[in-house]
Amino acid sequence: MRLSVEGFLGESCVGSAGLKELLFPAPVYAGDILTLRIEIFDMRVSGSRPNLGFIEIKNEMVKQNGDLGLQTQGTMLIASKGSSA
Q: What is the pTM of this model?
A: 0.72
Instruction: Convert the pLDDT of each residue in 25-82 to its tens digit.
Output: 999 999 999 998 999 999 998 889 888 999 999 999 999 999 999 999 999 888 887 6
All structural domains of the chain with their residue ranges = 2-79
d(CA 22, CA 29): 18
Of 75, 72, 70, the residue nearest 54 (C-alpha): 75
For residue 6, what are the contacts with CB-CB under 8 A and spacing of at least 6? none
CATH architecture entry for 2-79:
Roll (3.10)
Q: Is 84 exposed, middle or buried (0-12, 13-18, 19+ CB in 10 A)?
A: exposed
